[in-house]
Amino acid sequence: MFSTAFLDLPALQGASGTVTLPGSKSISNRVLLLSALCQGTTVVHDLLDSDDTRVMLAALRQLGCGVEVAGTTVTITGLGGRAWPTEAIEFFMGNAGTAMRPLTAALAVQGGDFTLKGVPRMHERPIGDLVDALRELGCAIDYLGNDGYPPLRVRQPSLQLDKPIPVRGDVSSQFLTALLMALPLATQDRAITIEVVGELISKPYIEITLNLLARYGIAVERQGWERFVIPEGSRYQSPGTIHVEADASSASYFIALGAIAEGKGIRIQGVGADSIQGDIRFMDAAEQMGAKITSGPNWLEIQRGAWPLKGITLDCNHIPDAAMTLAVMALYADGPTTLRNIASWRVKETDRIAAMANESRKLGATVEEGPDWITIHALPAGQWKRASIHTYDDHRVAMCFSLAAFNAAQVPVRIEDPKCVAKTFPDYFEALFSVAHTAAQNIPVICIDGPTASGKGTLASRVAAALGYHYLDSGALYRVTAHAALQAGLTLEAIDEAAIAKLARSLPVRFEGDQVLLDGVDVTDAIRSEQGGMNASKVSVLPAVRDALVDLQHSFQRLPGLLADGRDMGTVIFPEAPLKVFLTASAAKRAERRHKQLISKGFSANIDALRADLEARDARDMSRSVAPLKPAQDALQLDNSSLTIEASVEQVMVWWQSRQVFGSPT
């Protein structure tokens, strides 16, 4: 997951390959709650690991359910047949609507002393219609803040279930889902009828609920979309084992990707055209816009068909979440696209109509909006602008606008607060980068070259962390090469140049966090010694060895970008890099830093000897004939002798930002 303040997506050119999608959010949280209400144990496979499911799991633990998590498999031991807690419990629901609504209903029907709170945005998301319905049937619920919104306090109910229970269906189908899942708890001596008031929106989500209730032994009788009868004596029965389908709403981004990007096509694993999720019908809309889609029981394959895409007008009531993706596809169309019947967008994680309109406009698009519709006009190649996309703590806004990186103008796109995708798809950007491709010149590289102990590694890895970029410690490659050569019984002199180069060409080296592995063996400590540095300096003089390591170094230039530290990053390996920094510090300072570093790692060290060593190493590195240590012509010099690490990082970030100007700062 990218936890950076922003993520800059380079201009992307194509996409091909397979993505395996995480489990559906809607199915995951329903399955968790239903498993919690059963007697006995349910093994849930392929559960989504996300903010929403974590909130639900935490709440279930607080209630006393058994919860064992092993990767994406979670074993739940339910509360059925057991006593519910009688002590007061406070639940923190974050911004997880799919946990808040059904849990409120179940707690209110069961009764106790429960408080449900969330983040400020959760306290702005209406829940009044659900509370009204629950109060109607005798539940005791108080508003602790504003009427109609969380936080809530739930107490012991005095249930009156003889009359049909009315619930509004035209605001959020989650209210009906919440009642359908909670009320089987109260059917000991009567059937319960729920009546929908107003036109029911998002029917496909109700179908998911009914489908899953059936899997848990509750056979709800549906009379049209107006009445739902839960039979007398309904009892949750664990299915034993259940698999969560991949999320069809998440699939929409990759369906759109296949339709937009040039390439051999995208295969989506984990969900097929026969999915029980309503958002799978996004397929049809994407096909109308031009996508070519084939599918099997658990997979979809998408290719670009019509290009540019075709603008459409669509009633999106049946695909409220996935329809947002159409708004970004619309930018690549041959005419305007109008999405209608999307009033529910206004009360989601953010006002999504406003969000999609604002952010599309930043990219240069013309957009019109109304209370329950939006029209997005196509964006011709010459009119795309570099934009910094504000994401409103809304995962879908972030994922949608990542698709803008395929623009014909080849301008990069900045996504602010990329970690908001954690709500449903924590590794969304990793998945995108695993199939997207672009020309090497589009993938930015920041080079940090300089003498030993100037702080290159520290600076490069911190900037990489701040930008979400990869990190290449090129010195480690020379260190590992020298280590491998010595292990193979070679000298580090010219006489063994060809043999060392051969070793270097297929060096089985792997970086795992701070560890360096050679052929699976941890060699971190062995190569990090001062002797290791000196040995590296010796092999690095040999031209054939340098040549042998070029391809390996280039292979680190991957999406979304790279920080490379060494001696010749800017001069030889990445001469086109858009930012090159030559980092120096006085020899006295560097000796002092290295001394501290070694002592803190438990090595003994003498500061004068260190200084002599590093000056000898500098001399060798600067005087060698091939790729000597020197600043690239266009490098910016940074002497950090009297700068803190933070100040050095800040300086490089300022230089980088000044070369990466995105419009409309927020």
Ligand X SMILES: Nc1ccn([C@H]2C[C@H](O)[C@@H](COP(=O)(O)OP(=O)(O)O)O2)c(=O)n1
Running DSSP on this structure, what letter comes out for residue 228? E
Out of 50, 177, 249, 537, which residue is the one contacting ligand X (CB under 6 A)? Answer: 537
Minimum Å gap between C-beta 597 and ligand ADP is 4
**Given candidates 433, 648, 652, 656, which one binds ligand ADP under the rule CB under 6 A?**
648
30 in a labelled binding site? yes
362 vs 528, which CB is nearer to ligand ADP?
528
DSSP-assigned letters across all residues of 316-340:
-TT-TTTHHHHHHHGGGBSS-EEEE
- Stretch in the footprint of ligand ADP (CB under 6 A) among 92-100, 327-335, 569-577, 638-646: 638-646
Question: β-strand 192-197 against 636-639: which pairing, if any?
Answer: unpaired
Confirm whether 321 is a catalytic residue.
yes
Minimum Å distance from CB 474 to ligand X? 4
Instruction: Report the site for ligand ADP in 247-276 (rule: CB under 6 A).
Output: none
Window of 110-118, 286-294, 487-495, 560-568 that interacts with ligand X by CB under 6 A? 560-568
Q: Which residues touch 489 (CB under 8 Å, ≥6 apart)?
A: none
Written as one letter, the residue type at 472 is L
| Parallel/antiparallel/unpaired status of strands 152-154 and 114-117 | antiparallel
For ligand X, the binding residues in 152-191 under the rule CB under 6 A are: none
Q: Give the list of residues 6+ apart from residue 493 with CB closer than 8 angstroms, or none.
A: 538
- Residue showing the smallest CB distance to ligand X in the complex: 475
> For 300, phi and psi rounded to 5 degrees?
-135, 145
How many Å apart are CA 114 and CA 154, to the nearest integer? 5
* 456 binding ligand ADP? (CB under 6 A): yes
- The reply to whether 360 sits near ligand ADP by the rule CB under 6 A is no
455 near ligand X, rule: CB under 6 A: no
Q: Which is nearer to ligand X, 299 or 511 (CB)?
A: 511
Q: How far apart are CA 268 and CA 215, in angstroms?
A: 26
DSSP 223: E
Contact between 645 and ligand ADP by CB under 6 A: the answer reads: yes
Of the residues 52, 247, 279, 321, which is catalytic?
321
Any long-range contacts for 515-524 (C-beta under 8 Å, 24+ apart)? 516/476, 516/479, 516/480, 518/480, 518/483, 518/484, 523/480, 523/483
Q: Which of 156, 269, 341, 597 binds ligand ADP (CB under 6 A)?
A: 597
Distance CA 437, CA 16 (A): 8
**Local structure of 288: helix, strand or coil:** helix
The reply on whether position 352 binds ligand X by CB under 6 A is no
| Of the residues 360, 391, 424, 458, which one makes contact with ligand ADP according to CB under 6 A | 458
The single residue among 149, 566, 613, 632 that binds ligand X, judged by CB under 6 A, is 566
User: 567 contacts which partner out of ligand X, ligand ADP, none, CB within 5 to 8 A by kind?
Assistant: ligand X
Please choose, out of 147-155, 249-257, 321-329, 446-454, the segment that lies near ligand ADP by the rule CB under 6 A.
446-454
**Integer Cα distance of 292 and 311 in angstroms:** 16
Helical axes 203-215 vs 173-182, angle rounded to 10°? 20
Which residue of 2, 363, 640, 656 would you call a contact of ligand ADP, by CB under 6 A?
640
The residues assigned a catalytic role are 321
Query: Which residues in this chain contact ligand X in the complex, by CB under 6 A?
Result: 452-453, 456-457, 474-476, 478-479, 533, 536-537, 540, 566-568, 617, 621
Query: Which residues in this chain contact ligand ADP in the complex, by CB under 6 A?
Result: 452-458, 593-594, 597, 640, 643-645, 648
